[in-house]
Every structure is written in C-alpha cells, then in structure tokens.
Structure 1
C-alpha cells in the first residue's frame, strides 16, 4: 500500500438466525459497487485468497471441516472443540482475506460475524464465557457493527424451518427456537459498544433496512453510499 492510499473500512453484520444478515450484506455490497467503491463481501463460504491458490485450497479445506461436515460429527465432537475450530476458521479468514483487503484500500462487508458465536457460548453453561471471548479477541475490530435486532417469533416466521443447533439443542418445537434465540439476542445486546448500530428490523422490508444502513454509514462518516 502506498503512502497516500486509504485503508479500507470493515462493516460487519450480526444478529440471530433469520434476522436478514446475508440479505443486507449482499445488498450493501451491491450498493457500494454501484457507487464505485472497492468492496468485497466476506461470508462463511469465502475461501478465495487473492493471488494464492495454495492458501485458497487450505482455507477451503478448513471451511469443509467447520461448515461442511456431517451433523452427527458436529454433535459428537463437543462444544469445546467447535469453539476452537470456529476460532481457527475466523482467524484464518481474518488473516488471509480481511486484513489484506483492508490494507489494499478495499472495503469489507463481513456477513455473520463471530459475535453470534460469542452469544451462543454465553448462554452455554458448559463452556467458560471468558474462553470464548479470548479466542476471538485478536480479530480485526469493525468500524461499524450492524446489529439486526428482530423478534424471535418473526425470525421463525421468516425461516419457517430450523435446525437443532438454531434451537440450541434445547428441543424440537417452535417455542424452543424462540426461547433460545431470545437468550442469544440478550447476549448479543450485552456485547454492544460504540461501534454497534442496533436496528430493529422486525417490521422492516429489506430495502428499508438498506436505506437506514446507508444513512448510518454517511452519518458516522464511514462510507458514502446511496441505497
């Protein structure tokens, strides 16, 4: 990066399952691209390491272990293992994809940050909360964290179906999903600081969410984007 090149900005999106994180992240990337801004969208399937097929293959292999494994393997491995496996994935993606992009002056839209994982472990009595915080503490801090706050009942309506993990393995009913996701919401709110921008999206359409987000970016002097 030359002396006059600006560092990219990191905008992260978090929220419970069904909040609309991926929808917003994709729409925001598109809006930035239309505005002529250099931007990439980074999600849990992003494995491309610029200029390095070898590192891309390695990142893809780690992704396969973490996200593309048999469900029975996941449950058998235990919560401590998955905390460390997820920390390894987020660490590699941060080191190999996010930081180089920011240093090159490219803005990064980060879909589904580690905060939801922290929140899930915060409501898990079997793993110390401090351990979960520690293994993610080194990740690049975001310039803005968009917290899509949605009522758990509305999240369920949007999803229609949910996995045992999305109900915290507490039970198979809709009430189990709603109760667990509410606990995760409360845990997420506990992490909020000045970098967070909570947006109640319960009754909002995706276009309205995007418009509010672009206004926030302009207001906080992070990026100028027109929805």
Structure 2
C-alpha cells in the first residue's frame, strides 16, 4: 500500500457541465489508482453503501431514491427550494457517512457528481438566492483537488448526441439551443467558483478520454504527490 498508516486520504472531485466527461474521467481515474495499489473508492450519484452498516446503507439508499429515482413528473412540481434542501440532505449524508470515514481511514476518494454543478445551477436560477445555496453546502468536506473539465456547450451537446433532460436545459426549452444557452451560463458560474488553487482547469473539448486521464495523472503527481508508476 502506498498510503502511510495514519495518513488521511485525498478527496478528488470532478466538476464541469453536463456532457463534459466527468463520469468517464472519474471511473478511469479510479481504475488507474486501484491498479497502482492506491486504496481508492469511487463515489457517485448513486453510491449508498455505508461500510459495516446495513441499516445506514438502506437509509442512504432511501434518500437517494427520493432525490434521484423519482418519477419524471415530480421534479418540476416540487419547486426549486424543495430540491435545493433535498440535495443538501443527500450530499450531507454521503459526506458524513461515506466520504469522511474513507478519508480518515487513509483511502482516497474520487467524487463524481460533486455539488459544484448544483451551486452553479442555482446561481443561474432567479428563484433561489445564491447565498442560500452556498451556505447549505458550505459544511461539506473541502476537496484537495477539483478537476474542472472545460468544454464548449455545443461540443457537450454533440457528445450527448442531442439527448438531454429538461433539467439539463434549465427547463427553458427542449431545443439544442436551449441546452447550449443554459450550459453556457452554468459554465460561467463554475468559473466564478474556481478562485483558489484547489481548482485545476482542463480544456477537454478536443481531447479523448485517454488524453484527459494522462493530463489528470500528471496533475495528481504535481498537486497531491500521488504518482502512478
């Protein structure tokens, strides 16, 4: 094992708009770290397993079902404030019961679907004060490195083959133009968040998955002293 006894793990999160390749990078990075014998877990949108506790795992899964596995017509009816608080509850549970214990045990955590995109979406929304959203997520564990994947909104749409949800267009329409306009605004808000050294910006618009992983591994070596042989 490359992690020293008693040394906490690193929290590495992936940020970017829909279609930027966040899940692809998170999965490939997790595999690369595991292959190098680094103790690592991948935490994503539906990660609900709480080690050594079936009851807590069931509870986290129940909350996940409420937030992410609802019927399509439910989302818009409940309103932005409800979903903000529901998402804050979900991220709090995942942080408290899965991420923090792993880090304390010396395990690196690769976090896909981090809350930064949620904050960017609410900053675009006129219905919810930006400061409220920021306060609700302020207690979450601070990442050691945030991999910010830059991609143009039209390239993101192309990667999605024109397939996107109403939420991914900000509920502003069903056209590709609606998706591009909304995701462009979300990108601008993510850039406003990227104000300190924990954010590492990567232009991935014209790069394939292997090239993005190679660049990411170089950043891990430079920023976190995590080296993959």
Q: Which residue of 2 aligns with 1:223?
A: 226
Instruction: Tell me if the contact between 1:9 and 1:222 (Cα under 8 Å) persists in the aligned partners.
Output: no
Q: Which residue of 1 aligns with 2:88?
A: 87
Query: Partners in 2 of 1:223 and 1:74 — Cα distance?
Result: 40
Query: Partners in 1 of 2:206 and 2:115 — Cα distance?
Result: 25
Tell me the TM-score normalised to structure 2 length: 0.96
In structure 1, the gaps of 5 or more residues are none
Instruction: Tell me if the contact between 1:143 and 1:222 (Cα under 8 Å) persists in the aligned partners.
Output: no
| Deviations 1:147-203 (CA, angstroms, capped at 9, x unpaired) | 011000000000120111000001111011000000000000000021000101000
For 1:133-212, list aligned pairs within 5 A.
133-160=134-161, 161-192=163-194, 193-212=196-215
Q: Aligned-pair distance for 1:19?
A: 0.3
For 1:55-94, list aligned pairs within 5 A.
55-94=56-95
Instruction: Tell me if the contact between 1:153 and 1:178 (Cα under 8 Å) persists in the aligned partners.
Output: yes
Instruction: Tell me if the contact between 1:16 and 1:181 (Cα under 8 Å) persists in the aligned partners.
Output: yes
Instruction: Tell me if the contact between 2:39 and 2:107 (Cα under 8 Å) persists in the aligned partners.
Output: yes
Q: Extract structure 1 runs of 4+ deviating beyond 3 A.
A: none
Q: Which residue of 2 aligns with 1:130?
A: 131
Q: Is the partner of 2:47 in helix, strand or coil?
A: coil
Query: Partners in 2 of 1:19 and 1:67 — Cα distance?
Result: 20
Instruction: Tell me if the contact between 2:117 and 2:186 (Cα under 8 Å) persists in the aligned partners.
Output: yes
- The alignment of Structure 1 onto Structure 2 pairs a total of residues equal to 224
In structure 2, the gaps of 5 or more residues are none
Query: Partners in 2 of 1:77 and 1:183 — Cα distance?
Result: 23
Instruction: Tell me if the contact between 2:5 and 2:106 (Cα under 8 Å) persists in the aligned partners.
Output: no
Tell me the TM-score normalised to structure 1 length: 0.97
| Deviations 1:54-82 (CA, angstroms, capped at 9, x unpaired) | 00000000000000001211110000000
Q: Which is worse superposed, 92-101 or 67-76?
A: 67-76
Q: Aligned-pair distance for 1:223?
A: 1.3
Instruction: Tell me if the contact between 1:47 and 1:60 (Cα under 8 Å) persists in the aligned partners.
Output: yes
Query: Partners in 1 of 2:11 and 2:62 — Cα distance?
Result: 25
